[in-house]
Structure formats: C-alpha cells, structure tokens
Structure 1
Amino acid sequence: MPSTTISRQTDSDQTSSIRAGLASSRPVADQPPSVPLIRLVRAEFRKLTDTRSGFWLLIVIALGAVAGTITTAALWDELAGMLGDWTTGDALISFVPTMLLPVLAILLVTSEWSTRSALTTFTMEPRRGRVMAAKAIVVIATTVVFWLGCRGLTALSALLGGAMHAGAPVSWQVDWAATAGDLASTVLTVAMGLTLAMLFGSVAVSIVVYMAQPLMTSTLALIPGLATAMQWASANNMSLLASGAMTGEAWARVAVSAGIWIVIPAVAGTVLSIRREIK
C-alpha cells in the first residue's frame, strides 16, 4: 500500500509539472494587443486642447508671444541699441512661452491623476511606459513648434520695427550655435517640468518645485560651504546653451544640472508612474 500511494503521488506530480509546462508555453491571450505609438501620441495631442486648463494655457502662451512681438516692434528704436540684430526681441517674445510650456507639460502628465482618467488610459494601454513616452513626444513636439513660432515672431518684430523706425537698422546675421543652443535650452527647461510631474504626480507640488527652484538654489547658496554646489546644481545652468560659446566647464554645468533636474526625476518618475496606484 505505501508503494502504491507513493506511485500515485509521483504520477500526480508529473501530471502537474506537464500541465504547468504546457501553460507556460502557451501565448498569453489575456494580454491586450499593443496600441500603436502614433495613436497614443494623437490621443495625447488631443488632451492638450480637450481640457479647459490646457486650452486656455495655450491661448495665454500664444497671446503672450504676440504681445511681446507688438511691444518689441513699438520700442524697436530703443531696443535695437542693445543688440542691433533681429534677435533683439527674442527674450521678450519667448518669455511667456518659456515660463508656461513647462506648466503645460505638468498638466498633461498629472491630468491622468487629477481628472481620474488614468483608469481609462491605462485600461486601453496597460503598458504605462508607452503612455509616458507618448506624453514626452507630445511635449517636445509642442515645445519645438512654439519655439519656431517665437523665432518667426522675433523676425517679424524686427521687420516691423525696422520699417517703423528708419533710424534703427536691422542686422539679419544668424548665430547658428546660439540658435541651436537656445532650442536645446528651451527643450530641457520644458523636459524639467515633464519629469517633475512624473516624479510627484501632483499639479500643485510639481508647479511649486518648478517655480521655486531658482529661489531655492539661490537661498541655499547663501549657506557657507554650499555656494559652489548650488551653482552647479542650479537649473539655470541649462540656459548657458543659448550663449553659443560653450566651454568645458559650461558643458559640465549643463550636464550636472540636467542630471539632477531631468535624468534622475525621469528615472524615478517612470518607476513611480508605472507602480502608482489608480484610485
């Protein structure tokens, strides 16, 4: 009898092992098909304008750029004495877009949790990393479009200013290094808002950290022994790219700043976004 019992147990164990092996070799039928990335990108683009906050923020950004253009053209005779070329009004025209595009990125990421649409989004596409990638593509593409628009408005302001003020000629020389650096600096600044939103998952906290960062690093720099560290950690170092004349130390400052404010929050934020509980 004992031998019969042992034989039955062995047969049962073998049967269970065979069934487990067959189950593991079968394709996972419950896993939904992957949503094409281009479809996710289109959905995220629609979210920029479908929400009331996103729509009006886009309007404010556009109006701010237009207001800067009109102001630059009207005051061209005074502003042209500073630089004398067509990019004179770029800082004024791009001020509002540069300040608010990171906020737009924050709203796009955190809207999944604030509007409780995460359940729908992540049911349609359970792979949250792909959704985050689509949001990043949308944010970067929107940033590039607005940057190009601001550059066009800058040229328009110089053209109108030169026509309105004959005594203030316009130089149309282009510093390609500074132009490329300005685009890179703008993209990095907006990416900072994106990654902070991924990290915190809260509109209020992300915006406060983004807005308070310059004041925070400047205040900490007043503490003896922290001045040098804060100079390297400041996110303002990313604006050095717009100078067009980068040194080795400048590149190092940009790398350290981007690592602290973009790379680390991006890695941690991606992990948290994937694991964050949907309520």
Structure 2
Amino acid sequence: MRSSASRPQPTGLRPATGGIPFLRLCAVELRKQLDTRAGVWLLVAIALVNCGFIALTLFTADAAALTWTSLSQSASLGQLLLLPLIGVMAATSEWSARTALTTFTLEPRRTRVNLAKLASAGALGLIVMAVAFAVRAVLNLVGIVWQGGDGSWALDWGIVAGSGLALVLLVWQGVAFGLAFLSTPVAIVAYLALPTVWTVLTLTIESLRGPAEWLDVNQTLNVLMMGAMTADDWPRLTVSLVVWLAVPLAFGLWRTARREP
C-alpha cells in the first residue's frame, strides 16, 4: 500500500516552483493602481489641475511666452504633487483593502511584490508624463492659432530628463512612505507634511540652511527639475534621497516582510 506522500498530486494542487514572473507581477500591480476608484479619481484630479494651469498660462501669459516648454512647466505641478499619492495607495492598498493574504499566498516573496509596486508606480508616472507632453503639444497649437503665441517646439531636454527622474523618485518616495506606515491617510499626511515642515524650518532657522543643502529633498529635487545639476549637486541629491527615500523604504520592506497579513 503506497503512502499518501508517494501518491501523485492532482495537477491543479501541485505547488508552483518557478514563482510568478516579475513582469506579470508588475502588470498586476499596475492594474491595481488603475482599478480602484481612488486611483481613477486621483488621475482625473491630476488631469484637471494640469488643464487648469495650462488654461491660466494660455489666458494670462504674453504671446512670446506661449511655447511647448512653458506650457509643460506650468502643468507639471499637478502631477509632481498628486501622482506620488498613487504610489502611497499602491503600497497601502494590500492592508487597507485586506487583500494581503491573497497576494502573499499567490506570491509569498513579499519583497518581490513590493519591488513590483515600485516598478509599476514608476512606470505609471512616466506614462502620465508622456501623455501630458502630448496633450501640451496639442494645446501649444491652440496657443498659436487662438492667442498668436510663439509656438516654439524647442525643448530643454535637461529639464525634461530631470523632471522625469524627479517624478519617478517622488512616486517611489510615496511607495516608501506607504510601506513604512501601512495606512493610507497617515502615509499621505506624512509624505506631504514631513518634507514641507523640514523645508519651512530650514527657511526660518539660519543654522539649518547649511544642512538643508544635503537634507532638504525639495531643494535638491528642484535643482534636478531645472536641469541645472552640477558635479556638486549629485552627492547632495543622493544624501537627501537616502534620508527621505531609502530609509523609509528599507523600514517598510522590513516591516511588511514580518507583518501578519
């Protein structure tokens, strides 16, 4: 009589040995960010804010200032401010919606799931940025026809690359804060308030202005977005990202690896 251990298992119950492919995990995490009402409405809010700033530029700026570059810069605030909140929700949704048990049963390697969240959130940021550039190109034509604008198509690619990298880093910071706090409202408040409070303190307390050159992520990312990075700016950016991105991310990965679903 054969023991139960030697009996062949049904195919449907045989445990997977290779794991879920990483690209499939990224696709699933990207779909999660777009499937929720909060995610959809946040993208709608970003679009409305961008359109509002573009309309303000079209109506108030001089004709010579109506270029593809100026429209792109005026509309970047919405996505830089709001898109990282999708990163926050991507990290906290497993725990707030109580889907962690299902997710981590299908893929027990939690750090791998969290890395997929980082990759998909960064990809979503770049997709939104690309779509926004296309929309601004159409509105640049509107500015030429309607307002007699300059309509220049020249772009400062240093600014474009810096803005894209800054957007991805901010989205990753949102994911890091979400993993660290595992609560959507707490993580959003922390993400918005803590760097802002530090920036205000550095502006009001003179003794903090020196350290702020290395520790104020808003200041270092602003230089990156202006496309004005020098050899001295990259170490400052790295240190600020260690404090505001790497540390909360490392803590969040450690915390989610040990928390009960």
Distance in 2 between residues matched to 1:127 and 1:253, nearest whole Å = 34
Equivalent AA in structure 1 for residue 104 of structure 2:
F
Q: Does 1:69 align with 2:50?
A: no
Residue of structure 1 equivalent to 2:209: 227
Equivalent AA in structure 1 for residue 49 of structure 2:
G
**Structure 1 runs of 4+ with >4 Å offset:** 29-32
Q: Could you tell me which of 31, 40, 44 is aligned with 1:55? A: 40
Q: Contact between 2:63 and 2:147, CA under 8 Å: does it hold in 1?
A: no
Q: CA deviation at 1:87?
A: 1.0
Q: CA deviation at 1:154?
A: 2.4
Question: What per-residue deviation string (whole Å, max 9, x for no partner) do you get for residues 107-161 of structure 1?
Answer: 1110111111111111111110111111111101100001111222222222211
Q: So what's the TM-score if we normalise by structure 1?
A: 0.80
Q: Does 1:38 align with 2:8?
A: no
Equivalent AA in structure 2 for residue 165 of structure 1:
Q
Q: CA deviation at 1:255?
A: 1.3
Q: How many residues align?
A: 246
Question: What per-residue deviation string (whole Å, max 9, x for no partner) do you get for residues 207-256 of structure 1?
Answer: 11211134311343234532321332111111211222322222222111
Question: What per-residue deviation string (whole Å, max 9, x for no partner) do you get for residues 51-76 of structure 1?
Answer: 2212221222223333333443344x
**Structure 1 residues 116 and 163: CA distance shift in structure 2, 3 A:** same
Q: Could you tell me which of 140, 156, 181 is aligned with 1:158? A: 140
Residue of structure 1 equivalent to 2:8: none
Q: Does 1:270 align with 2:249?
A: no
Q: Contact between 2:58 and 2:66, CA under 8 Å: does it hold in 1?
A: no
Distance in 1 between residues matched to 2:76 and 2:23, nearest whole Å = 29
Q: From the CA coordinates, give the structure whose radius of gyration is larger.
A: 1
**Structure 1 residues 144 and 184: CA distance shift in structure 2, 3 A:** same
Residue of structure 1 equivalent to 2:167: 186
Q: Does 1:248 align with 2:236?
A: no
Equivalent AA in structure 1 for residue 43 of structure 2:
L
Distance in 2 between residues matched to 1:212 and 1:62, nearest whole Å = 23
Question: What per-residue deviation string (whole Å, max 9, x for no partner) do you get for residues 20-63 of structure 1?
Answer: xxxxxxxxx99643112222222212212322212221222223
Distance in 1 between residues matched to 2:62 and 2:68, nearest whole Å = 10
Unmatched 5+ stretches in structure 2: 1-12
Equivalent AA in structure 1 for residue 259 of structure 2:
R
Unmatched 5+ stretches in structure 1: 1-28
Distance in 2 between residues matched to 1:243 and 1:254, nearest whole Å = 13
Q: Could you tell me which of 85, 88, 103 is aligned with 1:121? A: 103
Distance in 1 between residues matched to 2:84 and 2:122, nearest whole Å = 10
Distance in 1 between residues matched to 2:37 and 2:152, nearest whole Å = 41
Q: Contact between 1:65 and 1:97, CA under 8 Å: does it hold in 2?
A: yes
Q: Contact between 2:66 and 2:143, CA under 8 Å: does it hold in 1?
A: no
Q: Contact between 1:86 and 1:170, CA under 8 Å: does it hold in 2?
A: yes
Equivalent AA in structure 2 for residue 104 of structure 1:
I
Q: Contact between 1:199 and 1:272, CA under 8 Å: does it hold in 2?
A: yes
